[in-house]
Amino acid sequence: MNEKQVIIRLILCVLIGGLIGYEREARNRPAGFRTHILVCIGACISVMIQQYCTSEAIALAILNPGIKEVLKTDVTRISAQVITGIGFLGAGTIIRDKGSVKGLTTAASIWVVACIGMTIGLGYYFLSIVAFIMVIIVLLILKKLEQKIIDRYKVYVLQIEYTDKENFIEKILFDLVKMKVKIKKFEVCYHGNNKRNTNKINIYMQLPRGISINYILQYIQSNDNICMLRILKN
């Protein structure tokens, strides 16, 4: 591996990591442009270090045949540690806010960027570019497909715990219907008979085209009467 190859690999990391990170930052995600670039470069450097170590071990064994039996190298060891370490970084991008979980896609993109960085570091350029194209397709094109098809027919179960002031839940239901959200049914879990004197209700709903579940959650969370808000598995 010469100097030219090192420069090409690191530049490719900046381009691929930056483009994926730009898509995340454009959506106001916690890990964006520079984070993805640094992860990609770091993963690439890690496997290139392993390659240098392997090359030096081979050269030493050639010059000193008597010690070749005691020289050992494992080209996958550092790569395995990179994958493990990136898991902690990805976990840091996941946010739990009033029962809703955000940042899973960004965490996955960081992990994939690290894998792409390792393939670049190993010199597998075709694999790196194809993987990058697949990631962009998933983040951009399949996102629109998900919103148009999957989210349109998916039934969400929205659980709300709230303090009933000024007919709060009636206003929420009215606003949801006004946004053309289809209310399938709703269940009252309890009504002011707990220690906190709060109400809890489950709302089964289908979203119209152009309205995401995150938009619904952000709208409802903005109300001071909300004590807890989450999406249940249906």
pLDDT in tens, 193-203: 566 678 888 88
- Within this chain, do residues 55 and 88 fall inside the same structural domain, yes or no? yes
Q: Which residue has the higher pLDDT, 11 or 35?
A: 11
Share the mean pLDDT of the chain. 78
Among candidate residues 122, 150, 178, the one where a domain is terminated: 150
Residues 6+ apart with CB under 8 A from 195: none
Percent of the chain having pLDDT more than 90? Answer: 0
94-98, 119-123, 225-229 — most confident range: 119-123
- Within this chain, do residues 59 and 145 fall inside the same structural domain, yes or no? yes
Among candidate residues 150, 168, 203, the one where a domain is terminated: 150
Mean pLDDT of 43-62: 79
- Within this chain, do residues 109 and 61 fall inside the same structural domain, yes or no? yes
Among candidate residues 126, 150, 174, the one where a domain is terminated: 150
- Within this chain, do residues 13 and 128 fall inside the same structural domain, yes or no? yes
pLDDT band for position 101 (cuts 50, 70, 90): low
pLDDT, position 30: 65
Mean pLDDT of 73-92: 70
pLDDT, position 54: 76
pLDDT, position 219: 84
- Within this chain, do residues 117 and 7 fall inside the same structural domain, yes or no? yes
Angle at 117 between CA 29 and CA 102, to 5 degrees: 20
Asked if pLDDT for residue 24 goes beyond 60, the answer is: yes
Continuous segment of H or E residues that includes residue 159: strand 155-162
Phi, psi of 161 (to 5 degrees): -110, 130
- Within this chain, do residues 135 and 166 fall inside the same structural domain, yes or no? no
Closest listed residue to residue 144, CA positions, set 154, 133, 152: 152
- For the chain, the farthest-separated pair of C-alpha atoms sits apart, in whole angstroms, at 87
pLDDT band for position 152 (cuts 50, 70, 90): low
- Domains in the chain: how many in total? 2
Mean pLDDT of 174-183: 87
- Within this chain, do residues 87 and 102 fall inside the same structural domain, yes or no? yes
Are the C-beta atoms of 87 and 11 separated by less than 8 Å? no
Q: Which segment of 15-29, 73-87, 113-127 scores lowest on mean pLDDT? A: 73-87
- Within this chain, do residues 144 and 179 fall inside the same structural domain, yes or no? no
DSSP 150: I
- Within this chain, do residues 103 and 179 fall inside the same structural domain, yes or no? no
pTM: 0.57
Asked if pLDDT for residue 218 goes beyond 50, the answer is: yes
Mean pLDDT of 128-154: 76
Mean pLDDT of 55-77: 69
Q: Which residue has the higher pLDDT, 75 or 229?
A: 229
- Within this chain, do residues 143 and 169 fall inside the same structural domain, yes or no? no
pLDDT band for position 74 (cuts 50, 70, 90): low
pLDDT, position 98: 46
Range of the domain at 124: 3-150
- Within this chain, do residues 97 and 83 fall inside the same structural domain, yes or no? yes
Mean pLDDT of 112-119: 88
Give the 3-state secondary structure of residue 55.
helix
